[in-house]
Amino acid sequence: MKIVAVCGMGIGTSVLLKMNAEKALRAMGVDADVEAADIGTARGAARTADVVLTSDELAPEIGEVPAKVIVIKNFTDVNEITEALQSSIA
């Protein structure tokens, strides 16, 4: 499974989201490749991803992609990320 964590610049918050998504996935026992990306890179990466994690503001900018786009309100809330992933990959 491939997951892309997206923020505007691809530096700080997407890396934080990536790390917390990996933590959530480990707790769920799910093996996945999680990468951090800026919005420009994410448009291409989302075409081969299964899931995209991003903010409400950036979700529409991802465009039409086969990946499931999941909006995360709080990138530091591992419980929110876990719940979102559980409902989308179950």
Domain extents for the chain? 2-83
Give the whole-angstrom CA distance, residue 18 versus residue 64: 22
pTM exceeds 0.75, yes or no: yes
CATH code for 2-83?
3.40.50.2300
Contact indicator for 83, 90 with CB cutoff of 8 Å: no
Contacts of 82 (CB under 8 A, 6+ apart): 24, 27, 28
CA distance between the termini of the chain = 13
Q: For residues 70-85, b (16+ Cβ closer than 10 Å) or e, as one string?
A: bebeebeeeeebbebb
Query: Mean per-residue pLDDT for 45-73?
Result: 93
For the cut 90, the answer to whether the pLDDT of residue 63 exceeds it is no
| Length of the chain (residues) | 90
- Ranking 6-20, 43-57, 75-89 by mean pLDDT, the lowest is 6-20
Catalytic site positions = 7
Contact indicator for 14, 37 with CB cutoff of 8 Å: yes
